[in-house]
Amino acid sequence: MDALDLARWQFGIITVYHFLFVPITIGMSALVAGLQTAWVRTGKEHYLRATKFWGKLFLINFAMGVVTGIVQEFQFGMNWSDYSRFVGDVFGAPLAIEGLLAFFLESTFLGLWIFGWDRLPKKLHLATIWLASIGTLLSAYFILAANSWMQHPVGYAVNPASGRAELHSIWAVLTNSTTLVTFPHTITACFLTAGAVLVAVSAWHLKRRHQEEVFRPSLKLGAVVVLVAGVGVLVTGDLQARIMTEQQPMKMAAAEALYDTAEPASFSIFTLGSLDGREEMASVRIPSLLSFMATGSPGGEVEGINNIQQAYEQKYGPGDYTPYVPVTYWSFRLMIGFGGLAMLVALAALWATRRGRAPTSRWLWLASIASIGMPLAANSFGWIFTEMGRQPWTVFGVFKTAQSVSPSVGAASVATSLIVLTLLYGVLAVVEVGLFIRYARAGAPEIEPETDDADRPLAFAY
C-alpha cells in the first residue's frame, strides 16, 4: 500500500470511530437537558435521578468524542496537506468558526455543568447543559457545511494563477442546499441514536424489574424519540437523495449498482451475484422505487453508471469516475436497513410496554438491548456511503483524492500513525464500553438530601 491508500484507511477508521461518539453526544446532551428541565419544572425526584444516570453515560461517551475530535482537525494538515493548500481559503473558515462558536461553548458549559451542581443556582445550572447542547448543534452545522462543500462546492472560484479554490461567498457556503438537507438528516439520526441508547439501557433494567420508576419513563422517552427522529431521518434522507441525484448522479447510480440508465428504475433490497452488481443471480426488487427516491416520480429516469462515466470523461478528461460499487451498494442498504430496524424495535417496545404492561417476550428484550448498535451501524454506513460514493473526488468535480495527499509524508510515517492510532482507539474502545456497561448496570443513583454546608464534598468531582 502506498501513502495515499494508508492515508485513506486512516481517514476512514479515525472518522467512523469519531462518529460513533458524536451522535450520542449531540442527541443525549439534549435529552439530558430535557430530563433536567422536567426535574426543575416539576420537582419530581425520578427526573433528577434519570438526569444524573443518563448524564453519567453521556459524559463517558463525551470524553471520547472530544479527544478523537482533535485528531480530525490535525489530520487534514498531516495527511492531506495538498488538499489543505487547495481548499484552505474556503474549507478552513467553517472549521475555525466551529472552534470559536461551538467548541468553546460545548467545553466551557459542560465543565460548568459537571462541576456546577452544588455551585450554581438551579436554573442557571440547567442553562449550562442547554448551552452545551446548542454548542454540539452549532458544531455539527459548521462541520457539515464544510463537508457539504466537498460534496457540492459553491460560493468559490479556482484562481488560475495560484491553482487554489478561493472563497467568494461565505453565505453561499453556509446556505448550500446540500448543507440544508444534510444537517437535519444528521441531527435526526443523532437523536435516533440517543433514543436507542435510552431504549437499550432501560430495557436491560426493566427486564430485571429494576428501578422501574426511572427506567419505564426513560424507555418510553427513548422509543418515542427513536420513532419521531426516525421519521425525520426518512423524510430528510428522501430530500437528500433527490439533491444528490441532481448534484452527484454517479453516487445515486452507484448506490443501486445501476449500470444502464433506466426509466422507471427499480430498487433492489438485496442482490445475490457478483459483488459489484454487474452479474445478478437473484434479487428482491421494488419496482419504480429508485425512480421515486431519485426524482420524486415513480416513472422518472435514473442515469446509469456507464452513461455518467462517459459524460464525465467528456467533461473532466479520461479517467475512472466510478466509485467502488460494492461498498456504495451495500453501505446504502445497510444504512437504511439498520436505521429501519432500530425504529421497528422501538415501536415494538413501546407497544409492549403500553399502559403499564411488561412484555414477557425474551426476544423483544434482547432486540431492545441490541438496538443500541443499530443506529451506530447505520450512521457509520451512511458516512461510508457518502464519502466513498464521492470518489474519486475529495471536492466533487474539482479536486481528486489522489491529488490531496501530503507529498512530503512517506508511507512509513502514515503507516506508523495508522497503526498507533488504530491500536490506541481499539484499547480505548474496550475501556469505554467496559465503563459504559458498568455504569449502565449500576442504575440510577439515590438522591441525597441537599445541605447548606459550604465545605461539603464536591458533587461530580473527578
Partner 1 sequence: MELTTVWFALIAILWAGYFLLEGFDFGVGILLPVLGRSNRERRLLINTIGPVWDGNEVWLLVAGGATFAAFPEWYATLFSGFYLPLLLILVALILRGVAFEYRGKRDDDAWRRRWDYCITGGSLVPALLWGVAFGNIVRGVRIDADHEYVGGLFALLNPYALLGGLTTLTLFTLHGAVFLALKTDGEMRGRAGRLAARLGGPAVLVAGGFLLWTAIAHHDVAGWLLSAAAAAALVGAVVATRARREGWAFLATGATLVLAVFALFVTLFPDVMPSSIAAANSLTVHNAASTPYTLKVMTWVAVAFTPIVLAYQGWTYWVFRKRLTAERIPA
Query: What is the footprint of partner 1 within residues 69-128 (CB under 8 A)?
Result: 69-71, 73-74, 76-79, 81-82, 84-85, 87-93, 95-101, 103-105, 107-112, 114-116, 119-120
Among 279, 282, 300, smallest CA distance to 291 is for: 300
Instruction: Print the SS3 string covering 381-443.
Output: HHHHHHHHCCCCEEECCCEEHHHHCCCCCCHHHHHHHHHHHHHHHHHHHHHHHHHHHHHHHHC
Among 1, 72, 4, 2, smallest CA distance to 406 is for: 4
Residue 457 interacts with partner 1 (CB under 8 A)?
yes
Q: Which is nearer to partner 1, 120 or 289 (CB)?
A: 120
In whole angstroms, the minimum distance from the beta carbon of 406 to partner 1 comes to 4
In whole angstroms, the minimum distance from the beta carbon of 114 to partner 1 comes to 7
Q: 292 and 300 in contact (C-beta within 8 Å)?
A: yes
Gyration radius of the chain over CA positions: 24
Q: Which is nearer to partner 1, 363 or 462 (CB)?
A: 462
In whole angstroms, the minimum distance from the beta carbon of 435 to partner 1 comes to 6
How many residues of this chain interact with partner 1, rule: CB under 8 A? 75
Length of the chain: 462
Contacts by residues 397-401 (CB-CB < 8 Å, ≥ 24 positions apart): 397/153, 397/316, 398/153, 398/158, 398/165, 399/83, 399/86, 399/87, 399/165, 401/4, 401/8
DSSP 308-372: HHHHHHHHH-SS-----HHHHHHHHHHHHHHHHHHHHHHHHHHHHTGGG-----HHHHHHHHHTT
Q: Which is nearer to partner 1, 272 or 454 (CB)?
A: 454
Single-letter code of the amino acid located at 429: A
Q: Which is nearer to partner 1, 38 or 174 (CB)?
A: 174
Residue 409 interacts with partner 1 (CB under 8 A)?
yes
Residue 234 interacts with partner 1 (CB under 8 A)?
no
Maximum alpha-carbon separation in the chain? 77
Q: In what helix (H) or strand (E) does residue 254 lie, and over which residues does it extend?
A: helix 249-256
Burial zone of 360 (CB within 10 Å; 0-12 exposed, 13-18 middle, 19+ buried)? exposed
Q: Which is nearer to partner 1, 247 or 406 (CB)?
A: 406
Question: Which residues contact residue 213 at a Cβ distance below 8 angstroms, ignoring those fewer than 6 apart?
Answer: 46
In whole angstroms, the minimum distance from the beta carbon of 268 to partner 1 comes to 42
Interface residue with partner 1 among 68, 148, 271, 368 (CB under 8 A) is 68
Report residue 412: phi and psi, to 5°: -65, -40
Residue 281 interacts with partner 1 (CB under 8 A)?
no
Residue 343 interacts with partner 1 (CB under 8 A)?
no
CB atoms within 10 A of CB 454: 6
Stretch 170-209: interaction string toward partner 1, x if CB under 8 A: x---------------------------------------
Tell me the β-bridge partners of 271. Answer: 283
Q: Which stretch binds partner 1 (CB under 8 A): 241-249, 369-377, 427-435, 444-452?
A: 427-435
Return the residue matching grid coordinates 433528577. Answer: 48
Return the residue matching grid coordinates 433506466. Answer: 262
Stretch 20-59: interaction string toward partner 1, x if CB under 8 A: ---------------------------------------x
The footprint of partner 1 on residues 368-407 (CB under 8 A) is 406-407
In whole angstroms, the minimum distance from the beta carbon of 414 to partner 1 comes to 8
Q: In what helix (H) or strand (E) does residue 271 lie, and over which residues does it extend?
A: strand 267-273
In whole angstroms, the minimum distance from the beta carbon of 94 to partner 1 comes to 8
Residue 301 interacts with partner 1 (CB under 8 A)?
no
In whole angstroms, the minimum distance from the beta carbon of 407 to partner 1 comes to 6
Q: Which stretch binds partner 1 (CB under 8 A): 60-68, 251-259, 263-271, 301-309?
A: 60-68
Q: 224 and 350 in contact (C-beta within 8 Å)?
A: yes
Q: 396 and 152 in contact (C-beta within 8 Å)?
A: yes
In whole angstroms, the minimum distance from the beta carbon of 390 to partner 1 comes to 21
Residue 456 interacts with partner 1 (CB under 8 A)?
yes
In whole angstroms, the minimum distance from the beta carbon of 462 to partner 1 comes to 5
Q: Which stretch binds partner 1 (CB under 8 A): 64-72, 216-224, 272-280, 383-391?
A: 64-72
Q: Which is nearer to partner 1, 81 or 309 (CB)?
A: 81
Q: Which is nearer to partner 1, 118 or 246 (CB)?
A: 118
